[in-house]
Chain A
Amino acid sequence: MENKIKAIICVIIPLLLAYALNTKFGDIPPLLKFLDPFTGFWQNSEKFSVKKSSKIALKGTQQTVDIAFDDRMIPHIFAQNDHDVYFAQGYVTAMHRLWQMDFQIRYASGRLSEVVGKKAIALDRHQRRMGMVYGAENSLKGMMANPESNKMITAYTAGINAYIHSLNRARLPLEYKLLDFSPEDWTPLKCALLLKQLSGVLAMGSDEFYMTNIMKKFGPQVTADLFPDYPFRDEPIIPAGTKWNFTPVTVPQPPAAFKEMTAGDVKTKVLEEGIGSNNWAISGAKTASGYPILANDPHLNLTLPSIWYQIQLHAPGLNAYGASIPGAPGIIIGFNQDIAWGVTNVAADVLDFYQIKFRDNTHQQYWYNNQWKNTKIRLEKIKVRGSKNETDTVYYTHQGPVVYLQKPEKLKIADNVPSGHALRWIAHDESNEVMTFYKLNRSKNYTDYRKALTYYTAPAQNFVFASSANDIAITANGKFPLKWKDQGKFILDGSDPKDDWQGWIPAADNPTVKNPARNFVSSANQTSTDQTYPYYINWEFGGYERGKRINDKLAAMTKATADNMRVMQSDSYSIAAADLLPAILPEIDPEKLNATQKEAMNITAAWNKFYDANAIGASIFDLWSKQLYHSIWADEFTIASVPMRFPSKDRTLRLILEDRNAKWFDNINTPEKESLHDLVNAAFKYACDSLERRYGPIGKRWEWANVKHSHVPHLANIPGFGSKTLMIGGSKGTINALDESNGPSWRMVVELGKSPKGHGVYPGGQSGNPGSPFYDNMIDTWASGKLYDLYLMKSTEDTSAKILTRLKISKK
């Protein structure tokens, strides 16, 4: 008996050991599964020396595909037909970025709980309830209905799957081993989800909940005064005075005012300057070569692996180079032999909330057009790792999903969503954005570019264009609902048909300009047009500052070169400082300052208004102006039970310059009456004291780069996998709009001509593997504001490119 027990124990101990070291507990990876040198993370260590060439045979290709990887591991794909070129794009993208693609679609489609467990449930529910999957399913219909985009998506998907099927446990991307899950097959729906996620990042902004609360608290007069429909300082993308060469369609009439509004219970959000981007093109009249130059730098939340994936696609009728999005076929920003194109975000109002009156608590019927109408139900099944699966019921009205009946606690991204309201969002509509890129990649001239844009729905972008035929153009492009003025500035009435979207601005009427007299076009997320444009796109856009700086520089430029453009992309001159400093600096009472504050004042007065890495004046001004902004509005616009937002920086500037006696300067929470003068001095002292507390006496540690702390974190924030702190300049509101970890995610400059020359860089590398020398090899070049030459190879043997390794895919 005793021996029997002993024998059993001797078997149980190794079994327990195997189990314990092979299982993920909480956030701790399965230890020996992860550390084992045969299948664990060690296998992801990539050699620094690369094999000259390799061959594989795959079932999915129709003919042989040759891929040359250049000295930065960028693939140049040479295929003999459309199917093969997208198949190969899918294959190499998966080879370098599989986990990133997988993780992003899991995020988008609310499937994170499946791999990380309960902690992601609230986020998963939010994504589902916002209708991300619903939108992707609709979008997919549009993509699959068109034979060309259908072929593109199908081939791309097959390429990704060919790579996934070639994997064994040892070769799985590192993060799978760490989080302990395996890739599943790619599907066309996932391509659609990735594009929806772009809308989620760029077109999910919504202030109407806050605006409605402000309207209720302060009334229409104050609301119109503090939240005007056109900015004080403007620099519209389509130059003011441009004639509209179309007859506008009739815009629907607004209904009688809608007043019955509800309030929730969340905190005031301080208005963050949105995600921005710059692009511009100058015509040959202003360049040394006589041909146009185009530049683009989209700003996003920077991550490693890099957001973008550089690639060249070559097939009959196609030879394009540029940045693609891992998970979507084609090139999003790039150039070919004849044209170059780039994008910035429009910030159109394409997301509206409708207040819904339900018949009862079953939510099966809602009041619309004087009768009860049935809701539809969509069940969202959420798998949860290590826990019970969950089914979430979402009610849909004809507008869209009722995002929340009851708001989740502590979910920041749900803050601007009002409870009991239906969401109408452009990203829910059938669309076919990949077709735009299919066409743009093959465009030869202005006509092709205009044609390509008509396929595009969302997120709306300012598409800049330049061609070797010496045309330049820019179009604020997307599918824009035909709205009455300010429709969606406030929460809409879900029972009134007049509040619905009642049509679309015709694609041909989207704001556009070709070859303007000033010989350049540009955009930086600011107001699309002047006030003569006959349609309503949004009441508020990004600030005018970056646009103004770009236009000032370009207007003064002659005989421009690509290098001038490169230098401009890392320009950090602050228009905001130039506007504000002359008004607030003289307000300071020097005799009331201590020694540090006095020195800080002198430094700020002498500051050249560039957010340079070593500028101490930038650190002081930045904190000072932020604190001033906060102290003007926080007292009136922070009420715990009524979430609101602050008036814009633009409106604040106008208040400071033109209305010094405004009541808003008084802090309503104190018995004294404060003036602008008091707030400016208090904010200045606050800024100096905070910096001193944190960084000691004025010196190196006060320098802007040290205060700003720019870095590029890992997509899942895994320590050790992000970048080091980068000691570089730039700031939101300057062309080089780099703050802590949001900034230029891709910088590109293209010189058009007989043979185009491209230059570009992103903060990261081609590989998504933290164990690869190509994971972050471009960061230092990016940080120093330099660009790499991009090779638009004419053939696989083109010697203008430095080739590191080659891969031949043949038909199996």
Chain B
Amino acid sequence: MVFLVILIASFLLQMVLPWWIILIISFATCGLIGKTGKLSIWSPFFAILLLWTGMALFKSLPNHNLLAGRVAEMFGLQAWWIILVLSVLLGAFAAAISGYCGYHFRKAVLVKKLNT
């Protein structure tokens, strides 16, 4: 569920908003409906991994990975797919951290409410 919500919301909102919207989506989704800490890491992680891999390939394959190859060379990397792996892992990692933080934010706020 968390996975799907992040995947779909990120896809739609990224059409109009900058990349950091995925951090807000992951934070909010895991903060609202994240079940466990572990899931709040892996759901955003794989959602963004999948989404970004899909989008990157959608743009890059019809380009015969020409640009990805040039950018890889610019970063001193040997092959175009390394820049793909780097892009999606970094995006997925950031989303995962954000999701995890969202989950624990809720925990912290909820506990606080119980205490009062």
Interaction A to B: yes
Chain A positions within 8 Å of B, measured between CB atoms, are 3-4, 6-7, 9-11, 13-14, 17-18, 21-22, 31-33, 35-49, 169, 174, 718-721, 770-771, 773
In angstroms, Cα B55 to Cα A771, docked, is: 16
Contacts of A6 in B (CB 8 A): 104, 107-108
- Contact with A720, one of B59, B73, B97 (Cβ below 8 angstroms): B73
Q: Does B86 contact A (CB under 8 A)?
A: yes
Q: Does B19 contact A (CB under 8 A)?
A: yes
Q: Is the CB of A48 within 8 A of B67?
A: no
Interface centre among B27, B91, B107, B111 (most CB of A within 10 A): B91
Closest to A41 in B: B71
Contacts of B105 in A (CB 8 A): 7, 10-11
Interface string of B4-20 (1 = CB under 8 A from A): 00000000001100111
Interface size class of B (residues with CB under 8 A): 35 or more
Contacts of B73 in A (CB 8 A): 719-720
- Contact with A48, one of B19, B56, B63, B97 (Cβ below 8 angstroms): B63
Closest to A2 in B: B108
In angstroms, Cα B27 to Cα A9, docked, is: 13
Min CB distance B50 to A, Å, is: 12
Closest to A721 in B: B70
In angstroms, Cα B102 to Cα A567, docked, is: 69
Interface of B is mostly: helix
Interface string of B68-112 (1 = CB under 8 A from A): 111111101000000100111011001001100110110111011
Q: Is the CB of A35 within 8 A of B91?
A: yes
Min CB distance B109 to A, Å, is: 6
Min CB distance B113 to A, Å, is: 10
Contacts of B70 in A (CB 8 A): 720-721, 770-771
Contacts of B18 in A (CB 8 A): 22, 33, 36, 39, 169
Known: A39-B19, A771-B66. A10 touches B101 (CB 8 A): yes
Q: Is the CB of B60 within 8 A of A45?
A: yes
- Contact with B56, one of A18, A21, A37, A39 (Cβ below 8 angstroms): A37
- Contact with A45, one of B62, B90, B94 (Cβ below 8 angstroms): B62
Q: Is the CB of B97 within 8 A of A46?
A: no
Min CB distance A47 to B, Å, is: 4
Closest to A13 in B: B101
Q: Is the CB of A38 within 8 A of B19?
A: yes
In angstroms, Cα B74 to Cα A41, docked, is: 12
Contacts of B62 in A (CB 8 A): 45, 47-49
Q: Is the CB of A18 within 8 A of B59?
A: no
Contacts of B107 in A (CB 8 A): 6
Within 8 A of A (CB), among B52-66: 52, 55-56, 58-60, 62-66
Min CB distance A26 to B, Å, is: 15
Q: Is the CB of B102 within 8 A of A18?
A: no
Closest to A7 in B: B108
Q: Is the CB of A37 within 8 A of B55?
A: yes
Q: Is the CB of A32 within 8 A of B90?
A: yes
Min CB distance B14 to A, Å, is: 4
Min CB distance A714 to B, Å, is: 9
Closest to B70 in A: A720
Within 8 A of A (CB), among B1-41: 14-15, 18-20, 23-24, 27
Q: Is the CB of B63 within 8 A of A38?
A: no
Min CB distance A279 to B, Å, is: 35
Q: Is the CB of A10 within 8 A of B52?
A: no
Q: Is the CB of A721 within 8 A of B74?
A: yes
Q: Is the CB of B90 within 8 A of A31?
A: yes
Interface centre among A4, A10, A48, A720 (most CB of B within 10 A): A10
Q: Is the CB of B20 within 8 A of A42?
A: no
Q: Is the CB of B67 within 8 A of A41?
A: yes
- Contact with A38, one of B15, B72, B112 (Cβ below 8 angstroms): B15
Q: Is the CB of A3 within 8 A of B74?
A: no
Q: Is the CB of B68 within 8 A of A3?
A: no
In angstroms, Cα B24 to Cα A17, docked, is: 11
Q: Is the CB of B97 within 8 A of A17?
A: yes
Q: 5 smallest A-B Cβ distances: which pairs?
A: A771-B67, A720-B73, A45-B63, A36-B19, A37-B55
Known: A3-B108, A47-B62, A48-B62. A17 touches B23 (CB 8 A): yes
Q: Is the CB of A3 within 8 A of B63?
A: no
Contacts of B109 in A (CB 8 A): 3, 7
Contacts of A31 in B (CB 8 A): 90
Q: Is the CB of B19 within 8 A of A40?
A: yes
Contacts of B24 in A (CB 8 A): 14
Q: Is the CB of A14 within 8 A of B97?
A: yes
Contacts of A4 in B (CB 8 A): 108, 112
Q: Is the CB of B98 within 8 A of A37?
A: no
Contacts of B27 in A (CB 8 A): 14
Closest to A169 in B: B18
In angstroms, Cα B71 to Cα A174, docked, is: 10
Contacts of A3 in B (CB 8 A): 108-109, 111-112, 115
In angstroms, Cα B28 to Cα A10, docked, is: 12
Closest to B99 in A: A14
A sample of 15 inter-chain contacts (CB < 8 A) reads: A3-B109, A3-B115, A4-B112, A13-B101, A14-B97, A31-B90, A33-B18, A35-B86, A39-B18, A40-B87, A45-B66, A719-B76, A720-B70, A771-B63, A771-B66
In angstroms, Cα B102 to Cα A165, docked, is: 38
In angstroms, Cα B109 to Cα A10, docked, is: 11
In angstroms, Cα B102 to Cα A168, docked, is: 30
Contacts of A720 in B (CB 8 A): 69-74
Contacts of B63 in A (CB 8 A): 45-48, 771, 773
In angstroms, Cα B83 to Cα A40, docked, is: 12
Q: Is the CB of A10 within 8 A of B15?
A: no
Min CB distance B86 to A, Å, is: 7
In angstroms, Cα B14 to Cα A76, docked, is: 36
- Contact with A35, one of B14, B65, B87, B102 (Cβ below 8 angstroms): B87
In angstroms, Cα B97 to Cα A44, docked, is: 28
Q: Is the CB of A45 within 8 A of B67?
A: yes
In angstroms, Cα B97 to Cα A10, docked, is: 9
In angstroms, Cα B24 to Cα A18, docked, is: 10
Contacts of A17 in B (CB 8 A): 23, 94, 97-98
In angstroms, Cα B23 to Cα A695, docked, is: 54
Min CB distance B60 to A, Å, is: 5
Contacts of A32 in B (CB 8 A): 19-20, 90-91, 94
Contacts of A22 in B (CB 8 A): 18-20
Closest to A6 in B: B108
Closest to B11 in A: A38
In angstroms, Cα B65 to Cα A730, docked, is: 33
Having A13-B97, A13-B98, one finds 10 other A-B pairs with CB under 8 Å, namely A3-B111, A6-B104, A18-B94, A32-B19, A37-B59, A37-B87, A42-B60, A46-B67, A720-B74, A770-B67
Min CB distance A64 to B, Å, is: 30
In angstroms, Cα B65 to Cα A47, docked, is: 10
Q: Is the CB of B56 within 8 A of A42?
A: yes
In angstroms, Cα B90 to Cα A449, docked, is: 60
Q: Is the CB of A18 within 8 A of B108?
A: no
Interface centre among A3, A44, A721 (most CB of B within 10 A): A3
Contacts of B102 in A (CB 8 A): 10, 14
Q: Is the CB of A38 within 8 A of B55?
A: yes
In angstroms, Cα B90 to Cα A31, docked, is: 9
In angstroms, Cα B86 to Cα A45, docked, is: 17
- Contact with B112, one of A7, A9, A49, A718 (Cβ below 8 angstroms): A7
